[in-house]
Amino acid sequence: MTMKTKNEIFSRYLGEYIKSTVERKGEILTIVSDATQMHRKAAIRKFKRLQLKGVPLYENRGRKATFTPDSIAALKVIWEAASEICGELLHPIIKEYVDVLQRDRLWQNTPDATDKLLCMSEATVKRKVGSFMKARRASKGLSATKPSNLKEIIPIFTGPWEVKPPGYGQVDTVVHCGSSLLGNMAFTVNYTDVSLLWVSFSAQWNKGQQETRNSLMRIKGKVPFKIFGMHPDTGSEFVNWFLKGWCEQNDIELTRSRPNHKNDNAYVEQKNGHVIRRFLGYTRIDCQRAIAVMNRMYDKLEMYLNHFVPSRKCVEKIRIGSRYKRKYDKSKTAYQRVLNHPKIEQSVKDRLIAEHEVLNPLLLKQEIDKLISEIFNIQRLHGNNNSDRKSF
């Protein structure tokens, strides 16, 4: 039996079925089911669909939407200004971003949208931010780390890191080589304080011992608190007598991770991917003119990340069978961690508070984007290899 024939049978009995009593409806269902070989429940649903066919549905059915498109658009403004971080990290800083943008007259959303935005729960922010995010496939780069023959002079440290006070940080170099390690190119030295998650960066030409020392000197001058220890991997740019002597002169404890154990430097390795690769990607930068612009960009990026982009620390890790259950602290910016830490001097906190009051995350983000474009333009015009640039 074709569908057309079945529809004709249902149409034949539809009017009578709608007006009939319960007993008569049962008789009609028996007739229709025998004729069409359909289950009685299916026949009931078929009559229901035919009865409602052509009847307009109520447009206001269901729960009324609390967060209208204008409040979602306001959330997206904050999300983009915060460098598109996840909902868990974004939720605690929404009010601060709104206050700063309103202070500088850059907030163009209605009061109603602002009120709804400030009332959003963390679960709602996570759900909405999830709809903003697009799948990103970041290709893996090349490794320029080569173990030093003198690594025995630097002691190995594997933890625990939780007991380390502010001033002990992990350091690493990131190579901007594109798809080839041949020739000269730019490197970035990344310093990440383990206790406070404060980050500092310095770009350099190649990764010679003297260039690396100069980068660490620049980082030491930018970090607002005293550096007591540095913990690199086994790369020859760090594990050498030249750098060890500089650390001893500045009362800096120098330790290292084990070869081929990236998790020994988990804090700085995470920042390599979440910060440097996120903003500069895997583009080859082999023009020396770009180094100065990279350092200008890193100065702005440090202020933006440390003052306005929060992060979480794992405070507990429990193994359950073959898996781990992790608990994290409440997301905070590095600036907030500095203010809350009892071992940071009050003079340092006062200086950071004064600096924080005049900063604007949206303006910083715009300046960072302009400088990144300038870096890529310099590379495109003056670089030795323009074919390795990738977009992220």
Low-confidence ranges of the chain (pLDDT < 70): 54-62, 134-152, 385-392
Q: Taking the mean position of all CA atoms in its chain, how far away is CA 369? A: 16
Give SS3 for 221: helix
What are the backbone dihedrals phi and psi of residue 111, each rounded to the nearest 5 degrees, phi first?
A: -60, -35
Helix/strand number for the chain, H first, E second: 16, 7
**pLDDT tens digits for 324-362?**
888 888 889 999 999 999 999 999 999 999 999 999 999
pLDDT at 151: 62
Domain ranges within the chain, ordered by starting residue: 3-52, 69-132, 151-382
Domain spanning 151-382: which superfamily? Answer: Ribonuclease H-like superfamily/Ribonuclease H (3.30.420.10)
pLDDT at 387: 41
pLDDT at 352: 95
pLDDT at 134: 57
pTM score, two decimals? 0.72
100 vs 359: CA distance, rounded Å: 8
What are the backbone dihedrals phi and psi of residue 199, each rounded to the nearest 5 degrees, phi first?
A: -115, 150
On whether the CB atoms of residues 206 and 183 are closer than 8 A, the answer is no
DSSP 8-class letter at 239: S
DSSP 8-class letter at 387: S
CA distances from 65 to 59, 109, 179 (A): 13, 19, 49
250 vs 243: CA distance, rounded Å: 11
